[in-house]
Each structure stands twice: as C-alpha cells, then as structure tokens.
C-alpha cells in the first residue's frame, strides 16, 4: 500500500535478521527431522549387510500369501498391497465419520459465545491429554461383549450387540482418537468467517440450508481439506487400535511396520514406512493442488 | 403517497440496554429516508428489525399492510447493503451480483441479462470475472448495491454504506446513490451518523437518540426548526441559549427583548433559543443589540469561525469579515435568526462553545475507522 520506499531496504534487513535468528531451529529441524528420514530411506534401500538393494521395496509389492476363500479354494493375494488397501479403506471411513461428526461441532463452536467456545474447546482437548494406550483400553471396556454398552442394552431389555473385534470397533477407536484433528482446522476457518456474510446470504434469499450450501461450505473448504489431511494420514498408519479393538483381525499397515520392526526386520520395516511416506506425500500433493485450484479463482 | 413500511411501538432490548424504545415510524413509497444519530442511538438496530435480522420485543413491523414480525429475512422483499459490504470472497463479481437470482433458479440467459444491466447501472461493466479482493472500496460498494438491487426489492436498507470510504469518494457515492434511487424508484432507508450526508441526500430525516426518535422531517425543516437541543446540536452548529418568552413573537435573551417568529408559549415560559452561527450579524458595538469580546478566531476557508464571549456564554459565529481576537463587537439578530424551542431533557447539555468540541465525527465501528484510514 502507500508505504514509503525506504521501508523496503529495512524489511530486507529484518528478513536477514530473522534468518539468523532461525539458524538454531534450522539445525534442530535438520537433526531431528531430516536425519531420521534419511535413515529410513537408507535402511529401506539396503540389505542386512548394508549393501544397496531394491529387494525390500519390491518385496512390498510382490510378496504373496495363500488364503482360503469362502468356497474353500486357496487364493494367492499380494500381502502388503491388501494390507495397505485395508488400511486405506478404514482410514477413509474414519475420516468421513470424523468430517460428518466434526463439521457441525466446529460450526456450533464457532457460533457460540466466547465462554461456551472455551468450554467446548477444553472438552475436545481433554482426551488428547490422556495416553493413547489408556484411551484404547477404555474403549475395550466400553465395547466388549460384557462391556458398558451391552450392560446398558441388557438393562433396558435389548439384545446385546457384538462390536469388539469388528471393523466398527476399529473405526470407533480411530474416530475417537482423531476427531479433534478434524474439528480444530474446521473451527479455525469457521471462527474467522464473517457473520455478516451469512446474514447477507439470508438477506439475498437463502434459507438456512441455502446459506450452508452456498456460503458456509465453500468458505470452509480449506478447513475441510486440512482436516481430512490431518485425520487421513495418521489413521492410515495407525497401529495398536486395530490390534486391540479389532481383536487382531484387521492387520493394518502400521501393524505391519511394527511387526517387522519387533521381528528385527529393520530394513523391510523401513521400506514399508518409506513407501507409505511416498504415497502420503503424493496424497498431500494432490490435496494441495486441489485447494490451490479452488483458490486460484480467489486470488 | 403510500405507506410501504409502518413501525408501530417497536421496543428492543439487548440484555439490560434498551436499544429501541417505543419507536413508531411510517416510511412512504419511493422516498429516501435517513435514520440519523450518534453511534448507539439504535438506528442500526431499527434497520436490522426491518431487514429481519432482529425481532422486536414489542410492537409490529408492517410491510405493505401485512405484519411481517415473524417473516424470516430471506422471505422479505427487502434487501440490505451492509456496512462493510459483506461481499462473498469465494465468488467473482458476476456471481456475487447473480447470487439472489441463482437462489431463485432463474434461467442462465435471464441471469446474464440482469447482471449486465446492474453492472451498467453501477458502472462496473468489464469487472465480471474480477475477484472481490481486487476491487477498491468504492467499487466493492457498488457491487454490494448492485447485488442488493438485482432482486428488485421494494425497499433497500443501507447500513452506513459510505462510512469506510474517504471523503472524496463518499461525496461521489452520495450523488451516485441519489441517482440510483431516483432511477429505480425503490424506497431507500439509509443509516448514517453523518448529518451532512443525511441533509444532502434525504427526502426525510429521522433524528434518533438513545433509542428514541427526536424529530422526523424534511432536511430543511430539521435544520431550521429543530425540536429540541439535541437535534439543534447534532444537525449543524448551534448556539443554544437560555431565554424566556414574555409574550408571543418576543423573546428575551441576556435581559434584552428580541423580535422573533415563534409563539404559543405560556407567558414568561423558560425556553431554549437556537441561533445558528451563520445567522448572527456582526456590527459596531454601539449599534449592537448585544456586545461581546472575541476570544478566538479560526480561519475555515470560506469563512472565519469566531468564539465570542457574550456575558459569560460562549457563542460561535461564522463570518466572512475578519475580526481580531480581543476585539469587542456588537451582535444583531434578525427575527428569523431566532428559533425558540420548548425546554427538554437535553436542555443545558449542548450548544455552549466554552469547551469547543467538533461535530460527531466518530465512526461507530473501530475496525471501520481503521479501514477508512488505510484507504
């Protein structure tokens, strides 16, 4: 805007000063973020005696397992591809559930007065302060056949439901763990939304649903994309939830990495992690590209 | 002329604060009506009640003979130009203006035609594909007007639409709005705290203070015949002096009788006397009806604004003749320079220039003030 020219030089100096101040952080980030990643890549492309190899990578794509189909015939499946697709499916379901649950919560939060907002925020954050294992065990006691839900059901005279060890139980666990990561980015875009825009839409003939469809939703898309990224990525690579709540019936890619690692198969574990990372990077890239394309019309 | 909107005994409180206190008002078809008052006087709340964004606690809103208290905003044949325009940032200019037509699911060809017509009216053809953020404040303002008018409302509500614009642009937009109002024949209800804007644009001015209407009238009547000290002070500059009416058409100020044009008061009734700074004649002290000592002189361009101590009461006088500070001058008042008002709750609160403060120039919204400064 109408700034005097001299400010430009000053700004450059400031940026230079900022960079110097950032140096310790840059070093820290290099040491604790880049170096471990480099090690993962290094292990992924080497064998037990640290010779370069594609063996681990190709094993991920080619390893097969015999499995009995329902009709009794034996089929051969690509082990890790199937595990990956299963992880993707569960993660996608959990993300969708998080979005459907989180969107109205975020909206209500953003539109409440400051005190209610703070309370809701705390309520949403509290589970995050609790250990992940404890949370998962808590869900076992709630969901198991003799658990809280079934005792409540039988108390009111309804027949019990079998949840533990099903896909539903795994999804419940994932949704519980990752819901805050969906709500927070949604809440942050919605809180910034100008109430006047919603009033303007009403003024121009939109009913409640029209306002949601034509103004609130399009303006919240960046938050939706962020929320999906924040939930989808950790839930793809999640482990333990599936072991405990799924009774080990839903072996996920995170469990595979953990399994290979505990079996001291470090190189193959690294290879799975590496491939997962690349796939997630591609995922994120596509999302970023989609948002940018949407924003392109705005800039 | 037909009444298009009738407000009957509207009362609205927010918590403990009574924003609107038993307000009744008739708005006629095709008129340009302005709600004028300082911030917090309830003018915006009244507008939001008409728009359907607030429900009155008591009273009725009648639109073309029908009570519309319970009709939601989106079903009212009334559109609003919001204070900071409230344009949709995710839509381009074309889609912003087309917004209400898309809601009605009109055919594409009709939408194109009507948006183009609107763009022509607000002189923004060629901006269809532009984004909201690439437009200047004045251009955004015109988009907001086009968007509000395209649905062909019977009444357009404008909530301080010019407050965020700089002075020059504001003047241009005042003319523009007046032209659009005449061209469309739509009733405009305009909210402002700027008395000059109100006087120059309106057919009818409604002066409000603390949730109540103080006066309704044509701009010229509001200026020349203010009802009480609040109106006299808020509209233009006024010296408001304690006086008495010994009989009709005679008014006593500072112990001296003046001929005036007002009557109908009880004999000897105490009154407020309004004397506009431009109506005071400066003469030789010997020839003056009153005398005073000039305490300050400010050059204003067209005229000088001088503060004169007349027996301890500070008068503001606007004159094109130079007088020096400390000079003793004589003052003459023609009968039509004297306007007599009944005493009111506002008596003694306004109209003394001993501690000179300028007109209400505040902008009600601090963010708006910041925006205005940036532009």
CA neighbor of A237 nearest in space, from A95, A133, A84:
A84
Q: Is B90 inside a domain boundary?
A: yes
Asked if the Cβ–Cβ distance from B74 to A210 is below 8 Å, we say yes
CATH number of the CATH domain containing B56: 3.40.50.300
Express each pLDDT in B76-115 by its tens digit: 999 999 988 999 999 999 999 999 999 999 999 999 999 9
Read off the pLDDT of each residue in B318-328 and give the average, rounded to a whole number.
90
Q: Is B171 inside a domain boundary?
A: yes
Residue B346 confidence (pLDDT) = 85
Residue B1 confidence (pLDDT) = 66
Low-confidence winner among A20-34, B172-186, B346-360 (lowest mean pLDDT)? B346-360
Chain A's closest residue to B87, CA to CA, is A197
Read off the pLDDT of each residue in B301-313 and give the average, rounded to a whole number.
90
| Alpha-helix runs per DSSP H in chain A | 6-29, 35-44, 55-62, 79-111, 114-125, 132-143, 148-155, 167-192, 195-203, 208-211, 217-236, 241-245, 253-262, 266-296
Asked if the Cβ–Cβ distance from B73 to A218 is below 8 Å, we say no
- Boundary of a domain, candidates B199, B224, B249: B224
pLDDT confidence of B355, banded at 50, 70, 90?
low
Residues of B in contact with A206 (CB under 8 A): 74, 103
pLDDT confidence of A7, banded at 50, 70, 90?
low
Quote the CA–CA distance of B134 and A194 in Å, as a whole number. 19
CA neighbor of A297 nearest in space, from B94, B21, B32:
B94
A213–chain B Cβ distance below 8 A for any pair: no
Q: Is B37 inside a domain boundary?
A: yes
pLDDT confidence of B236, banded at 50, 70, 90?
confident
Burial of A299 (0-12, 13-18, 19+ CB in 10 A): exposed
Distances (CA, A) of B311 to A38, A244, B6, B138: 90, 94, 48, 49
Mean pLDDT of chain A: 87
Q: Is B367 inside a domain boundary?
A: no
B302 in the same domain as B256: yes
Asked if the Cβ–Cβ distance from B92 to A297 is below 8 Å, we say yes
Q: Determine if residue B160 is left, alpha or beta; phi over 0 gives left, psi from -120 to 50 gives alpha, anything else beta.
A: left
B72–chain A Cβ distance below 8 A for any pair: yes
Residues of A in contact with B100 (CB under 8 A): 204-205
B62 in the same domain as B196: yes
Phi and psi dihedrals of B237, rounded to 5? -95, 145
Using the predicted structure, report yes or no on whether residue B25 has a pLDDT greater than 90: yes
Cα dihedral sign for A203, A209, A215, A219?
A: positive
Asked if the Cβ–Cβ distance from B88 to A200 is below 8 Å, we say yes
B50 in the same domain as B171: yes
B248 in the same domain as B144: no
Interface test with B, best of A190, A204, A209, A216 (most B CBs within 10 A): A204
Structure tokens at A23: 């140096």
Please enumerate in sequence order all residues whose Cβ is within 8 A of that of B187, keeping only pairs 6 or more positions apart, or say none: B4, B5, B27, B28, B29, B30, B31, B32, B33, B154, B155, B156
Low-confidence winner among A152-161, B183-192, B208-217, B359-368 (lowest mean pLDDT)? B359-368
pTM > 0.90 = no
Residue A10 confidence (pLDDT) = 67
Length of chain A: 299
Q: Is B39 inside a domain boundary?
A: yes
B196 in the same domain as B50: yes
pLDDT confidence of B55, banded at 50, 70, 90?
very high
Please enumerate in sequence order all residues whose Cβ is within 8 A of that of A9, keeping only pairs 6 or more positions apart, or say none: none
Rounded to a whole number of angstroms, the distance from the CA of A293 to the nearest CA of chain B is 12
B216 in the same domain as B241: no
Q: Tell me the β-bridge partners of B78.
A: B155
Residues 116-135, chain B, touching A (beta carbon < 8 A): 131, 133
A207–chain B Cβ distance below 8 A for any pair: yes
B289 in the same domain as B190: no
Read off the pLDDT of each residue in B145-163 and give the average, rounded to a whole number.
92
Express each pLDDT in A243-259 by its tens digit: 888 887 888 888 889 88
Asked if the Cβ–Cβ distance from A196 to B79 is below 8 Å, we say no
Count of structural domains within chain B: 2
Quote the CA–CA distance of A175 and A241 in Å, as a whole number. 11
Low-confidence winner among B35-49, B68-82, B296-310, B354-368 (lowest mean pLDDT)? B354-368
Residue A210 confidence (pLDDT) = 92
Residue A298 confidence (pLDDT) = 42
Rounded to a whole number of angstroms, the distance from the CA of B295 to the nearest CA of chain A is 41
Express each pLDDT in A56-110 by its tens digit: 889 888 888 887 777 777 878 888 999 999 999 999 999 999 999 999 999 999 9
Domains and CATH numbers, chain A: 80-296 (1.10.3720.10)
Quote the CA–CA distance of A257 and A238 in Å, as a whole number. 10
Low-confidence winner among A78-87, A283-292, B266-275 (lowest mean pLDDT)? A283-292
Distances (CA, A) of B39 to B50, B108, B199, B363, B372: 18, 43, 18, 8, 17
Q: Is B355 inside a domain boundary?
A: no
Residues of A in contact with B106 (CB under 8 A): none
Quote the CA–CA distance of B156 and B78 in Å, as a whole number. 6
Read off the pLDDT of each residue in A137-165 and give the average, rounded to a whole number.
88
Share of chain B above pLDDT 70, in %: 94
Asked if the Cβ–Cβ distance from B80 to A196 is below 8 Å, we say no
Q: Which domain holds residue B307?
A: 237-342
Residue B321 confidence (pLDDT) = 86
Read off the pLDDT of each residue in A272-283 and give the average, rounded to a whole number.
90
B245 in the same domain as B214: no
Read off the pLDDT of each residue in B46-52 and give the average, rounded to a whole number.
94
A192–chain B Cβ distance below 8 A for any pair: no
B141 in the same domain as B73: yes
Q: Is B101 inside a domain boundary?
A: yes
β-pairing, B204-209 vs B32-36, is parallel
B153 in the same domain as B195: yes
B68 in the same domain as B209: yes
CB pairs under 8 A between A and B: 71
* C-alpha A265 chain-centroid distance: 26
Share of chain A above pLDDT 90, in %: 39
Residue A243 confidence (pLDDT) = 86
Residue B56 confidence (pLDDT) = 95
Quote the CA–CA distance of B3 and B29 in Å, as a whole number. 6
Distances (CA, A) of B57 to A7, B8, B11, B60, B191: 54, 12, 6, 9, 21
Residue B72 confidence (pLDDT) = 93
CB atoms within 10 A of CB B88: 20
Using the predicted structure, report yes or no on whether residue A5 has a pLDDT greater than 70: no
Using the predicted structure, report yes or no on whether residue A3 has a pLDDT greater than 50: no
Mean pLDDT of chain B: 89
B122 in the same domain as B176: yes
Residues of B in contact with A204 (CB under 8 A): 74, 79, 99-100, 103, 147-148, 151
Q: Is B352 inside a domain boundary?
A: no
Residue A296 confidence (pLDDT) = 47
B214–chain A Cβ distance below 8 A for any pair: no
Residue B124 confidence (pLDDT) = 92
């Amino acid at each position: 805007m109408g700034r005097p020219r001299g400010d430009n030089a000053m700004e450059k100096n400031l940026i230079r000063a900022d960079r110097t101040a950032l140096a310790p952080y840059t070093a820290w980030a290099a040491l604790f973020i880049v170096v471990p990643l480099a090690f993962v890549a290094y292990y992924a492309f080497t064998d037990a005696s640290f010779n370069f190899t594609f063996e681990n990578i190709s094993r991920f794509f080619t390893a097969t397992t015999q499995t009995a189909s329902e009709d009794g015939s034996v089929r051969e499946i690509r082990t890790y591809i199937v595990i990956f697709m299963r992880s993707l499916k569960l993660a996608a379901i959990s993300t969708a559930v998080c979005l459907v649950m989180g969107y109205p919560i975020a909206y209500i939060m953003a539109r409440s007065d400051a005190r209610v907002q703070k309370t809701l925020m705390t309520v949403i954050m509290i589970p995050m302060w609790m250990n992940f294992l404890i949370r998962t065990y808590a869900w076992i006691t709630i969901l198991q056949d003799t658990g809280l839900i079934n005792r409540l059901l039988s108390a009111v005279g309804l027949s019990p439901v079998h949840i533990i060890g099903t896909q539903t139980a795994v999804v419940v666990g994932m949704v519980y763990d990752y819901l805050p990561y969906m709500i927070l980015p949604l809440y942050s875009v919605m809180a910034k939304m100008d109430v006047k825009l919603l009033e303007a839409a009403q003024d121009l003939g939109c009913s409640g649903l029209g306002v949601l469809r034509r103004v609130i939703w399009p303006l919240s898309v960046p938050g939706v994309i962020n929320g999906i990224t924040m939930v989808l990525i950790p839930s793809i690579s999640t482990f333990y939830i599936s072991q405990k709540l799924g009774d080990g019936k839903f072996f996920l890619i995170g469990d595979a990495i953990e399994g290979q690692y505990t079996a001291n198969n470090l190189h193959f574990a690294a290879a799975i992690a590496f491939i997962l990372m690349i796939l997630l990077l591609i995922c994120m890239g596509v999302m970023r590209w989609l948002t940018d394309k949407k924003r392109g019309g705005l800039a | 002329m037909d009444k298009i909107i009738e407000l009957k005994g509207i009362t609205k409180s927010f918590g403990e604060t009574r924003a609107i206190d038993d307000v009744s008002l008739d708005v006629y078809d095709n008129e340009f009506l302005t709600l004028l008052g300082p911030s917090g006087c309830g003018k915006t709340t009244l507008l939001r009640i008409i728009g359907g964004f607030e429900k009155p606690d008591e009273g009725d809103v009648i639109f073309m003979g029908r009570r519309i208290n319970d009709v939601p905003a989106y079903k009212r044949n009334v559109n609003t130009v919001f204070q900071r325009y409230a344009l949709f940032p995710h839509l381009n200019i074309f889609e912003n203006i087309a917004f209400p037509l898309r809601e009605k699911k009109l055919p594409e060809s009709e939408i194109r035609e009507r948006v183009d017509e609107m763009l022509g009216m607000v002189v923004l053809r060629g901006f269809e594909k532009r984004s909201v953020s690439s437009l200047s404040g004045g251009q955004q303002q015109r988009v907001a007007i086009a968007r509000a008018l395209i649905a062909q409302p019977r009444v357009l509500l404008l909530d301080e639409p010019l407050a965020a614009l700089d002075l020059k642009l504001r003047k241009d937009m005042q003319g523009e709005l007046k032209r659009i109002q005449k061209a469309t024949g739509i009733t405009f209800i305009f909210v402002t705290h700027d008395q000059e804007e109100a006087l120059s644009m309106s057919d009818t001015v409604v002066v409000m203070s603390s949730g109540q209407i103080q006066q309704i009238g044509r701009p010229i009547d509001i200026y020349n015949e203010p009802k009480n000290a609040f109106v006299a002070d808020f509209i233009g500059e006024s010296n408001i002096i304690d006086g008495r009416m010994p009989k009709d058409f005679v008014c006593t100020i500072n112990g001296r009788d003046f001929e005036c044009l007002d009557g109908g008061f009880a004999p000897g009734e105490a009154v407020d006397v309004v004397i506009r700074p431009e109506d005071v004649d400066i003469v030789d002290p010997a020839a003056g009806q009153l005398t005073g000592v000039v305490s300050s002189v400010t050059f204003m361009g067209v005229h000088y604004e001088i503060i004169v101590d007349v027996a301890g009461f500070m008068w503001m006088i606007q004159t094109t003749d130079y007088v020096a500070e400390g000079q003793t001058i004589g003052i003459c008042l023609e009968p039509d320079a004297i306007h007599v008002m009944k005493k009111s709750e506002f008596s003694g609160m306004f109209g003394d220039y001993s501690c000179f403060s300028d007109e209400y120039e505040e902008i009600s919204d601090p963010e708006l003030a910041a925006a205005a400064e940036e532009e």
